[in-house]
Structure 1
């Protein structure tokens, strides 16, 4: 599967990332070809544990209700949308031509239901950790001064969200925006992870 994927994409992710990002499909394929009942049972147990972890992670978003009533807490979710071809044409000839990719990082305020979109194209910049950190920084530094705690949810994409660039940005943000005292970043895919930044007084 990875071989077929890598030959059909211009910039394929590594084998490691591919295997990490498609665990549900992997379980399904392994179960379809499993003939030994003991191995099949082990796969089903592992799959169920994976699905339970995903459900638990989703249900951890209890901070949404808190942020609705407490204006000192801001609960946000962010994700990079699938790349958008520009222009978006239906012509098959245009589809196979080299198109300009447009990126959109959406930051959703779970308390108010409002979303902010940071949009740029590949002629301006890429879609890596620095770009994600920059968008988050621009958004967070404009939060009202009454906000002292920020809770964020994202997936575990290492190239964009779960990396030292984003971590360093949060550390820097605490120094330039002293009204924010605590930042929690929750990762909701595969396992429940949490990183915390706090201003040392």
Structure 2
């Protein structure tokens, strides 16, 4: 009565102190994280040095993962502990740096920076000069490649080829749900393509046999050179500028 007369509330304000009835329990969150982490992941093929993002199989997506989550936990968790796809997606996007595709750099840093700075109006004359020089060198390289190709067609003692390492191949590849959770075997494929004869040679190995560095690339190139016909006296090879595999001292001095 005294509190009512004075108008002063001396109790404890309990507003906002109760647990929301629809709050996701710790057990349910743990089940989500455990399921996401049960899928094998790999590093990106092209951006291993530029990003720490991991990549799931290309046959997966969040909807498919959520479907597998439901199938796996329908007998292990009560219905009240099976979260919605929205919550599953929220945990996946906010707590994990995962993606479903292999990133590929179709453009170099010079081209990307030029386009970006041109669009926002911060391009300097120095960077414009660097870009123009880069484009000139690219055109010249293509012209040299075409000239070498034409020369190889007319001269049987010359071989001109391109080589590149394919993105990581994970095996086995299947739509069976149990295989999604298995640790897959990483396989590597180096393809060498003869521009004149249009003949391709593939060197395939797995992570059990070796890695995918300069030594492995050099071994494949050595095997290719040893398999050439005796009339081949000159060999010209073209590749991308991947420093760890193609453009390094081990390949150039092999």
Report the equivalent of 1:139. Answer: 224
Aligned counterparts, 1:66-105, within 5 A: 66-89=151-174, 98-105=183-190
1:53 paired with 2:99, answer no
Query: What is the CA deviation profile of residues 129-160 of structure 1, one whole-angstrom value per residue up to 9, with x for unaligned ones?
Result: 11000001111011111111111111222211
CA separation of 1:44/1:87 partners in 2, compared to 1, >3 Å: closer, same or farther? farther
The alignment of Structure 1 onto Structure 2 pairs a total of residues equal to 158
Superposed counterparts of 1:120-139, under 5 Å:
120-139=205-224
Cα distance in 2 for partners of 1:50, 1:93 equals 49
Please provide the CA RMSD for this pair: 3.3
CA apart distance, 1:87: 2.6
Q: Which whole-Å CA distance do the structure 1 matches of 2:148 and 2:127 have between them?
A: 33
**Structure 1 or 2: more strand by fraction:** 1
Go from structure 1 to structure 2 and tell me whether the alpha carbon gap of 1:25 and 1:9 turns closer, same or farther (over 3 Å shift): farther
More displaced stretch, 135-144 vs 92-101: 92-101
The higher-RCO structure (CA 8 Å, 6+ apart) is 1
- CA drift of 1:71 comes to 0.9
In the alignment, the residues of structure 2 paired with residue 93 and residue 7 of structure 1 have an alpha-carbon distance, to the nearest angstrom, of: 24
Instruction: Give me the TM-score of the superposition, normalised by structure 1.
Output: 0.65
Unaligned runs of 5+ in 1: 11-17, 170-201
Which of 18, 27, 52 matches 1:6? 52
Q: Which of 225, 229, 234 is the aligned partner of 1:149?
A: 234
Cross-structure match for 1:22: 109
Q: CA deviation at 1:31?
A: 2.7
Aligned to 1:191: none
Shift of 1:75: 1.0
